[in-house]
Amino acid sequence: MLTPLARYGLIIAAAIVVADLTTKAAATAMLDYGEANVVLPFFNLTLLHNTGAAFSFLSEGSGWQRWLFITLAVVISGVLVVWLTRLKQHETWLGVALAFVLGGAVGNLYDRVVHGYVVDFFHFHWAGYHFPAFNVADSFITVGALMLLLDVFMSGEHRDSDTLDKGNKQ
């Protein structure tokens, strides 16, 4: 039986997958591949296909990387689902973080399985420097990962203060 936190986490992850796949379908339908569509002086919508991982890591591979990234995404998604189902009810922040990473991972996993690449279209640039294009799934993975890091630091501070409190009481 799923806890309410796990149920909400899975709903959040599913909503992220729907938002991600919907925006990727819209980008694919409305944008020409590789053509920059200027939105702001520092932001374009540019349809790109990424066969690699973050920042196009291993995108020059001969195709084996697709299966590596699919395997990693399946394993990581499974671990995230199990972790989410084992959270205590008060671990809401951690649950949301896991849901964000899970939703993003599944959105990009779908692309890799169906297309063999991930659809990217958000393209930021400034003064001749270009940040690698990304998508909604990547955004949620990044925010979720940052939340996980904050959780580690916040829970570490909490444990440290508990240890200090216990030491002062003795």
Distance in angstroms (rounded) separating the CA atoms of residues 164 and 79: 33
Q: Is 120 a catalytic residue?
A: yes
Answer for the pair 168, 161: CB distance below 8 angstroms, yes or no: no
Q: Is 165 a catalytic residue?
A: no
Answer for the pair 120, 135: CB distance below 8 angstroms, yes or no: yes
Answer for the pair 103, 140: CB distance below 8 angstroms, yes or no: yes
DSSP bridge pairs for 45: 37, 122
Distance in angstroms (rounded) separating the CA atoms of residues 165 and 159: 10
Paired tokens of 18: 């729907």
> Which residue is catalytic, options 20, 120, 151, 160?
120
DSSP tag of 35: -
Distance in angstroms (rounded) separating the CA atoms of residues 123 and 26: 16
Looking at the annotation, which residues are catalytic? 120, 138
